[in-house]
Amino acid sequence: MVFFQLVGTCIEFWTMQAVQTRLGIAGLALLTLAIVGVRARHPRLAWWSAGLFFLLTLQLQT
| pLDDT band (50, 70, 90) for residue 44 | very high
Tell me 42's DSSP state. Answer: -
Which residues, in sequence order, are CB contacts of 47 under 8 Å at separation 6+? 37
Average confidence score pLDDT of the chain: 83
Using the predicted structure, report yes or no on whether residue 28 has a pLDDT greater than 80: yes
What is the predicted pLDDT for the residue at 62? 62
Indicate the domain borders of the chain.
2-61
By C-alpha distance, which of 14, 46, 41 is closest to 31? Answer: 46
Compute the average pLDDT of residues 7-34.
82
Is this prediction's pTM over 0.85?
A: no
